[in-house]
């Protein structure tokens, strides 16, 4: 498969790319946590720890 990738040229486009990447990252993270075999309380604690670490 051939792909053509265009880099964003304007600041607005760079911000939009960053926003879209963040949305995808969040979706993958949430799906991964949902699939864990632990209690919902443990999942919430994990998400809280991730949130605290990222701020």
pLDDT of res. 39: 96
pLDDT of res. 6: 84
* pTM of the full structure: 0.72
| C-alpha to C-alpha distance for 18 and 15, rounded to whole angstroms | 5
pLDDT of res. 17: 93
Q: If you average pLDDT over residues 4-27, what whole number do you get? A: 94
Tens of pLDDT, residues 17-54: 999 999 999 999 999 999 999 999 999 999 999 999 98
- Three-state DSSP class for 15? helix
Does the pLDDT of residue 4 top 80, yes or no?
yes
């Amino acid at each position: 498969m051939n792909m053509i990738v265009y880099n964003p040229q304007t600041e607005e486009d760079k911000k939009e790319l960053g926003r879209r990447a963040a949305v995808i990252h969040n979706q993958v993270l949430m799906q991964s946590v949902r699939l864990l075999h632990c209690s919902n309380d443990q999942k919430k604690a994990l998400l809280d720890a991730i949130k605290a670490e990222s701020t």
